[in-house]
């Protein structure tokens, strides 16, 4: 067998992982050797006889564990985008070992002592040093031997539970699919959509990973809608017990670390800092949002001619949209061709703002034939990084859309970034992929994260690009959404896929008018999920939950967000954001989206005040905010960009919540 490709740095441009050479059998040996090497390197750093300095301690740690870093970066990217059975088996085996490995480093007392002795005057070094101290304390470095043993057990169990949770979920998307034998019951779906789900004379509609399945907007048969909805909200029921156990363990861990709840622990290193701050913010939104949604529900029932049920919402929302605004969102699809959206929309906007250009690199390959790779250049022609694009849904890909790094930018290693975007667009049997407006928006959103990674200009990988607090990381990506509807950008990409004709202006006007409609639904669906996440992670240590579904209902009631027609965007059993990662993921962090949106709404206002899409504006955003990554206090970076602290009003106005 040839040498394991993870053992040496990739020799491809930008150190792009050599996907053509990487085979499944390479991962486990690379993980094992990577962890062993890393531990040895850490032992050397901890046992250094010289006095601790920034270079021989913190910087040395930044340099350590390269094989492990290369292996896990590629592995977890593949585990999200193309998780074959083999990959899933490796994931189950390796996740608890990685947790153990991380604990072995963070609970190394000699190493922690040395970190405490380091001093430096350089601001970027001082910031990183503080991050390291925080990482160690939060991982339990200050605890007694006895407490640390318990902490390790908790972490290992959490990691096993999280893997089981996400694997149950992946299975459920097809195992709980809606299976239909009589095609009449699928009336309303397009011919191509029906064709795509047909197999051996049956039709199987897989579940996407949120409550409200898109097909609910189109299916005319009420019974089919009800069946689909119920399958969706009741999928993976075995995950309820896993969630209870995880929430209980997280509460116990928080207590060990000196916090009253996992939520308190979780926000302490965020920009929110305290649970009170989060609750105060959410408190301003709940009442007006529910009132909005109730008004919308009345309009929908009126349209339907009977009191609607949850599975009717999307269907009649489309009808009201049509009646009230004469707008049918499916009329837009022919104007949103994937390739044009990417090149003439997403790339074009970035070009206007930042002067960057893109060249497809057909000579470089990804892990799947559908993956496209682009080289990105600065306005002066210098190299910026690689952008890897994987647009299509496949059975081995998890739901949703996301960005991740394949190589972190850092001056320490002289590496330029390799960043990646995943979408879940249905690949058509033939012809071009036509997107919904939501999918267009998502493409812009994820590219906002990609820009945060690409523009990173920092010394150390630990604080590169999107390595910022979780309640800040959605902000740059949300800002980038504004360009999806910017008139000159839209005119550039929204052209009919067959005729090339621009999208009719009146269709856009209607879309804009209709945009505010259904905001109540969207806000309540999101807030309900946020408050559910919050309730699970405000559990006090030792508190028990007998019945997860009853807990869920009571939590929503208590938070004032219970509304039978609008369930949380994610119920407990499929809330992957908060239960599919042992360490935390978005646990007690789902609030981050609306928290970031405060900064987003402020920034959109700034761009508009300053004449919108132009180089000066892009360059200012890039230099003050995008390029610093997590190498400084991100709120200070925001003030550098905006010139003052954020206010909540622009967000309230945008969401129609000003009272």
Contact 386, 358 (CB under 8 A): no
Given the rule CB under 5 A, which of 117-125, 160-168, 473-481, 555-563 is the region that contacts Zn ion?
Answer: 473-481
Residue 402 CB, nearest approach to Zn ion (Å):
7
Q: Give the nearest distance from C-beta 445 to Zn ion in angstroms.
A: 6
* CB closer to Zn ion, 108 vs 480: 480
Task: Return the ∠ at Cα 526 (arms to 606 and 644), rounded to 5°.
Answer: 25
Q: What burial class does residue 542 get, using C-beta atoms within 10 Å of its C-beta: 0-12 exposed, 13-18 middle, 19+ buried?
A: exposed
Residue written as token pair 């030792």: 542
Regarding 442 and contact with Zn ion (CB under 5 A), the answer is no
Q: Return the number of the residue (400 or 428) whose C-beta is nearest Zn ion.
A: 400
3-state secondary structure of 395: coil
Quick check: helix, strand or coil at residue 96? helix
Quick note: the x/- pattern for Zn ion over 162-201, rule CB under 5 A, is ----------------------------------------
Indicate the residue among 58 and 440 with the shorter CB distance to Zn ion. 440
Q: CB atoms < 10 A from the CB of 139, how many?
A: 20
| Distance of closest approach, residue 32 Cβ to Zn ion, in angstroms | 33
Task: Considering only CA atoms, give the Rg of the chain.
Answer: 25
Residue of 40, 18, 209 lying closest to 111 (CA atoms): 40
Stretch that binds Zn ion, among 24-32, 111-119, 474-482, 616-624 (CB under 5 A): 474-482
Cβ closest to Zn ion, residue 148 vs residue 421: 421
- Taking the complex as a whole, the smallest distance from the CB of residue 417 to Zn ion amounts, in Å, to 17
Is 99 near Zn ion (CB under 5 A)? no
List 357's β-bridge partners, or say none.
377
For Zn ion (CB under 5 A), the number of binding residues is: 2
Q: How far apart are CA 357 and CA 348, in angstroms?
A: 9
Query: Please, what is the minimum distance in Å from the beta carbon of residue 453 to Zn ion?
Result: 12
Kindly report the number of other CB atoms within 10 A of residue 199's CB atom: 9
* Least gap, CB of 596 to Zn ion (angstroms): 9
Q: What are phi and psi for residue 554, nearest 5 degrees?
A: -65, -40
- Indicate the residue among 316 and 447 with the shorter CB distance to Zn ion: 447
43 an active-site residue? no
Q: Which residue is it, tokens 């980038």?
A: 480
Which of 122-130, 213-221, 238-246, 468-476 is the region at the interface with Zn ion (rule: CB under 5 A)? 468-476
> How many whole angstroms separate alpha carbon 635 and alpha carbon 642?
10
Tell the residue number behind the tokens 């790094």, with chain if given. 405
In the complex with Zn ion, which residue's Cβ is closer, 403 or 433?
A: 403
Touching Zn ion, residues 8-27 (CB under 5 A)? none
Q: Which residues pair with 203 in a beta bridge?
A: 180, 198
Distances (CA, A) of 175 to 88, 169, 238, 243, 426: 17, 9, 13, 20, 19
Separation CA 440–CA 228 (nearest Å): 25
The angle at the Cα of 531, spanning 526 to 533, to the nearest 5 degrees, equals 95
For residue 332, the minimal CB distance to Zn ion (Å) is 23
What part of residues 280-339 is at the interface with Zn ion (CB under 5 A)? none
Of 477, 573, 587, 596, the residue at the interface with Zn ion (CB under 5 A) is 477
Q: How far is CA 644 from CA 603, 616, 629, in A?
A: 11, 19, 19
Looking at 337, 446, 525, 597, which residue is catalytic? 446
Pairing outcome for strands 178-180 and 202-205: antiparallel
Contact region with Zn ion (CB under 5 A), list: 90-98, 281-289, 471-479, 490-498: 471-479
Stretch that binds Zn ion, among 14-22, 88-96, 311-319, 477-485 (CB under 5 A): 477-485
- Cβ proximity to Zn ion: between 347 and 402 the closer is 402
Min separation Cβ 539 and Zn ion, Å? 27
Beta-carbon-side half-sphere exposure of residue 83 (alpha carbons within 13 Å): 18
CB under 8 Å to 21, separation ≥6 — which residues? 2, 5
The least CB distance from residue 293 to Zn ion, in Å, is 24
Stretch that binds Zn ion, among 133-141, 472-480, 486-494, 495-503 (CB under 5 A): 472-480
Residues that bind Zn ion (CB under 5 A): 474, 477
Known catalytic residues? 446
């Amino acid at each position: 067998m040839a040498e394991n490709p993870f053992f040496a740095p990739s020799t491809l441009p930008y150190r792009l992982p050599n996907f053509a050479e990487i085979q499944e059998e390479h991962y486990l040996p690379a993980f094992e050797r990577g962890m062993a090497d890393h531990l040895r390197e850490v032992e050397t750093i901890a046992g250094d006889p010289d006095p601790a300095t920034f270079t021989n301690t913190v910087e040395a740690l930044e340099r350590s564990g390269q094989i492990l870093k290369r292996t896990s970066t590629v592995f977890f990217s593949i585990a999200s985008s193309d998780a074959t059975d083999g990959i899933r088996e490796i994931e189950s085996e390796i996740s608890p070992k990685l947790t153990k490995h991380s604990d072995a480093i963070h609970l190394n007392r000699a190493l922690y002592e040395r970190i405490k002795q380091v001093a430096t005057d350089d601001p970027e070094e001082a910031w990183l040093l503080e991050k390291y101290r925080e990482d160690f304390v939060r991982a339990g470095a200050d605890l007694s031997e006895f407490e640390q043993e318990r902490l390790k057990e908790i972490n290992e169990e959490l990691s096993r539970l999280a893997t089981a949770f996400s694997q149950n979920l992946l299975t459920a998307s097809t195992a709980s699919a809606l299976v239909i034998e009589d095609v009449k019951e699928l009336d309303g779906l397009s011919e191509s959509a029906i064709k795509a789900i047909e197999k051996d004379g049956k039709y199987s509609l897989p579940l996407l990973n949120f409550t409200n399945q898109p097909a609910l907007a189109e299916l005319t048969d009420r019974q089919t809608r009800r069946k689909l909805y119920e399958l969706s909200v009741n999928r993976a029921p075995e995950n309820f017990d896993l969630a209870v156990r995880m929430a209980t363990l997280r509460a116990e861990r928080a207590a060990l670390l000196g916090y009253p709840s996992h939520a308190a622990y979780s926000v302490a290193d965020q920009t929110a800092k305290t649970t009170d701050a989060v609750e105060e913010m959410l408190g301003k939104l709940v009442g007006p949002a529910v009132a909005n949604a109730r008004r919308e529900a009345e309009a929908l029932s009126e349209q339907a001619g009977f009191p609607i049920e949850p599975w009717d919402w999307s269907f009649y929302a489309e009808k009201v949209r049509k009646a009230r605004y004469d707008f049918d969102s499916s009329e837009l699809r022919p104007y949103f061709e994937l390739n044009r959206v990417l090149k003439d929309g997403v790339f074009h906007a970035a070009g206007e703002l930042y002067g960057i250009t893109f060249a497809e690199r057909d000579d470089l390959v990804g892990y799947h034939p559908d993956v496209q790779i682009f080289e990105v250049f600065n306005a002066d022609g210098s190299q910026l990084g690689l952008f890897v694009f994987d647009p299509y849904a496949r059975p081995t890909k998890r739901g949703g859309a996301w960005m991740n790094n394949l190589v972190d930018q850092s001056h320490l290693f002289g590496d330029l970034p390799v960043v990646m975007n995943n979408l879940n667009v249905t690949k058509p049997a033939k012809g071009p992929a036509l997107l919904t407006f939501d999918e267009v928006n998502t493409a812009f959103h994820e590219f906002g994260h990609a820009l945060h990674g690409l523009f990173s200009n920092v010394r150390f990988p630990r604080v590169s690009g999107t390595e910022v607090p979780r309640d800040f990381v959605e902000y740059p990506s949300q800002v980038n959404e504004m360009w999806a509807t910017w008139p000159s950008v839209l005119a550039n990409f929204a052209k009919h896929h067959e005729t090339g004709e621009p999208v009719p202006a009146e269709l856009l006007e209607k879309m804009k008018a209709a945009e505010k409609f259904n905001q109540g639904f969207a806000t309540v669906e999101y807030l309900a999920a946020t408050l559910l996440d919050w309730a699970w992670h405000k559990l006090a240590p030792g508190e028990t939950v007998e019945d997860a579904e009853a807990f869920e209902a009571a939590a929503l009631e208590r938070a004032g967000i219970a509304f039978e027609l609008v369930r949380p965007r994610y119920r407990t059993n499929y809330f992957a954001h908060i239960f599919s990662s042992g360490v935390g993921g978005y646990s007690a962090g789902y609030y981050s989206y609306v928290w970031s949106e405060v900064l987003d709404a402020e920034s959109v206002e700034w761009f508009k005040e300053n004449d919108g899409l132009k180089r000066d504006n892009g360059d200012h955003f890039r230099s003050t905010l995008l390029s610093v990554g997590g190498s400084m206090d991100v709120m200070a970076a925001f003030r550098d960009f905006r010139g003052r602290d954020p206010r909540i009003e622009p967000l309230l106005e945008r969401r129609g919540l000003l009272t």
